[in-house]
Amino acid sequence: MIELEGVPELIDPVMVAAFEGWNDAGDAASTAVAHLDREWKGEVFAALDAEDYYDFQVNRPTVFMEAGVRKITWPTTRLSVVRVGGEKPRDLVLVRGIEPSMRWRSFCNELLGFAHELGVELVVVLGALLGDTPHTRPVPISGTTSDPDLARRMDLEETKYEGPTGIVGVLQEACTHAGVPAVSLWAAVPHYVSQPPNPKATLALLNRLEDLIDVRIPLGELPEDARAWQVGVDQLAAEDSEVAEYVQSLEEARDTAELPEASGEAIAREFERYLRRHDGGGPPAAGGHATADGSDSTSYLRDNPSGRTRPPKPGTDDDESSED
């Protein structure tokens, strides 16, 4: 039995989780949960035992000095709680950590034990993958669930993915078997500029989460950071004609594919978000990452001693497909 001393009774709680590693291209998902924790001043109430789930040769502890005393921080997963005020207050249980190295089923069961004890009504797991998406267009966000009723009510897709999966997919499946409503939100990060941070993808995930759970999320400096990020990538791409040509081909493919989707529903959703934000006030790591086929991938557009590596041309054998 999990004892939760000091945690008050929660109001309509939603658990929001993200994990560094394979599920977190550009650190977009973990940064989104960190943003929520920082903006709402989350209070940590539990941490999973690092010895049970992590290989310390893969995720090494770090040493730091505090008041002249040498201390060690161990890689783990922590849970905090924040209260979102407003006319209809509700609580968020934030789960932030690193994809575990072992005992994934026990890991998920422990998180579900907390969810049960806290009365969590919905679990939302955030992820980010590498895809064939241009940095100049809005970040594609796909929302999936294994629950057909939830898919209809929340305008989500029923997951059809087959292939290698990470802790995001495993936790969602564990929630389904435990009878806990669960949703995964995935941001597609351009594979040619995958190094963190990616504030544009983080912002897109938070906007979609805001719509999903009907809360207003303070964005702070994220919109400005996202604009600055895009300007920076524009400049890098402009320095290499092959990269610029490749980005243009992605733009053309994206615009052609999404032309029928420029619907009144999408416009209405953006307008509702605008009204919500302006109602009554002013504006408020190493390793590969998941791709559509489950394989690992690394950044193409990056500086190194031998110059930037060029992206594959569309249609070649090395071209990756994106996961929606």
Compute how many other C-beta atoms are within 10 angstroms of the C-beta atom of residue 111. 25
> Taking all residues of the chain, what is their mean pLDDT, rounded to a whole number?
83
The pLDDT score that the predictor gives to residue 38 is 96
Cα 114 to Cα 95: distance, rounded to the nearest angstrom: 10
Span 20-42, pLDDT tens digits: 999 999 999 999 999 999 999 99
* 133 lies in some domain: yes
What is the pLDDT, as a whole number, of residue 190? 93
Specify the length of the chain in residues.
Answer: 324
Task: Find the DSSP H helices in the chain.
Answer: 28-39, 50-53, 104-118, 148-153, 167-178, 199-213, 222-238, 241-258, 264-278
Domain for residue 209, yes or no? Answer: yes
Pair 112, 159: CB distance under 8 Å: no
The pLDDT of residue 277: 55
Domain ranges, residue 122: 14-261
Rounded mean pLDDT, 305-313: 38
In a domain, 294, yes or no: no
Per-residue pLDDT tens digits for 113-145: 999 999 999 999 999 999 898 999 999 999 999
Please tell me the distance from the alpha carbon of residue 103 to that of residue 114, in angstroms, as a whole number. Answer: 17
**Is residue 292 one of the residues assigned to a domain?**
no
Q: Which H/E stretch holds residue 263?
A: none
The interaxial angle of helices 241-258 and 222-238, nearest 10 deg, is 130
pTM of this prediction exceeds 0.85: no
Residue pair 101/58 in contact (Cβ under 8 Å)? The answer is yes
Whether 92 shows a pLDDT value over 90: the answer reads: yes
Residue 266 lies in a domain: no
Task: Say which amino acid occupies 245.
Answer: E
pLDDT of residue 278: 56
128 conformational bin, left if phi > 0, alpha if psi -120 to 50, beta if neither: beta
pLDDT, position 317: 43
Give the per-residue pLDDT at 295.
62
Q: Is residue 275 part of a domain?
A: no
pLDDT at position 296 is 65
Quick check: is 208 in a domain? yes
Q: pLDDT tens digit string along 246-261?
A: 888 888 888 887 655 5
The predicted pLDDT at position 177 comes to 93
Question: How far is Cα 264 from Cα 15, in angstroms, rounded to an integer?
Answer: 31
Asked, for residue 191, whether it belongs to a domain, the answer is: yes
The CATH number of whichever domain residue 119 belongs to comes to 3.40.50.10900
Q: What is the C-alpha separation between 251 and 116, in angstroms, rounded?
A: 45
**What pLDDT score was predicted for residue 310?**
40
Quote the DSSP letter at residue 305: T
Tokens 């302006």 sit at which residue?
278
Number of domains in the chain: 1
Q: How much is the pLDDT for 270? A: 54
Q: What is the mean pLDDT of residues 150-176?
A: 90
